[in-house]
Amino acid sequence: MNAITVKNLTKTYGEHVAVDNLSFTVLKGSVFGLLGANGAGKSTSLECILGTKKMDSGEVFILGENPVKNRTSVFEKTGVQFQEAKYQELIKVSELCENTACVYKNAQDYKKLLSDFGIADKANSFVKDLSGGERQRLFIVLALLPNPEVVFLDELTTGLDARSRRDVWKILESLKKRGLSILLTSHFMDEVEALCDQILILKKRKTVFSGTVAQAKQESGKEKFEDAYLWFTEE
């Protein structure tokens, strides 16, 4: 069974097309990268896939279930981290984790996750006092708290230094080996190359490439993936 199946997803706002006939599958236990410049349709696609925005047409299945019709069931198996995540500022990290964990039946131990991501010492800090990198790591912890089978990560390492980014990669690689399926967006091509089994590149809301990083380099005739990505997305 595929972790995520998207068929002909289209979303418009009036005459503006935000997502244009998007189709892809994410295999269980794999990492899939949804790539494109700002405004290409990545975040809207994620929201439509999760059912938080209503698509105009198309079909989406997460672990074989419709995320709108089977919201509760899908919710229990899915973790989400959005780039523009909004959380209470005047709450301690430990309280936010406890409040989040109590919503799920099979929540993980948040103290272990905080330790894994190097912010155990911030458990008694207020969210508003965290640095950008600490806050980003906290958002990933919250996405993993449900002990999900599928996780959505939107620009997961924005704000992290090089060492912290690589630490996050190692954790995600170990989770993938345990069967976690990951759909991510990223502007860091080294991250995409290190983590992603399959990628899809959007340009002006349309798919311009779908395949592996190696295939993208081959099709574009570029040695470096960053150059290949720019070749597919340049105006």
What digits encode the pLDDT tens for the residues 51-108?
Answer: 989 999 999 999 999 999 999 999 999 999 876 566 677 899 999 999 999 999 889 9
Relative to beta strand 150-154, strand 31-36 is: unpaired
pLDDT of res. 171: 87
Return the SS3 of 80: strand
User: Which ranges of the chain does DSSP label H, i.e. alpha helix?
Assistant: 42-50, 71-77, 93-101, 110-116, 132-144, 162-177, 189-195, 213-220, 225-233
At 124, list the tokens: 């008694």
pLDDT per residue as tens digits for the range 220-235: 999 999 999 999 998 6
pLDDT of res. 49: 95
pLDDT of res. 158: 81
pLDDT of res. 27: 96
Using CA atoms, how far apart are residues 125 and 95, in angstroms rounded to an integer? 10
Phi-psi region of 206 (alpha: psi -120 to 50; beta: other; left: phi over 0): beta
Q: What is the torsion angle, in degrees rounded to the nearest 10, for the CA atoms of residue 144, residue 70, residue 3 and residue 179?
A: 40
Query: What residue segments make up the domains of the chain, in order of their start?
Result: 2-233
> Are residues 28 and 181 in contact, defined by beta-carbon separation less than 8 angstroms?
yes
CA 144 to chain CA mean position, Å: 11
Quick one: 2-233 is in which CATH superfamily? P-loop containing nucleotide triphosphate hydrolases (3.40.50.300)
> Are residues 198 and 26 in contact, defined by beta-carbon separation less than 8 angstroms?
yes
Stated length of the chain: 235
- Confidence (pTM): 0.91
pLDDT per residue as tens digits for the range 98-136: 999 999 988 999 999 999 999 999 999 999 999 888 888
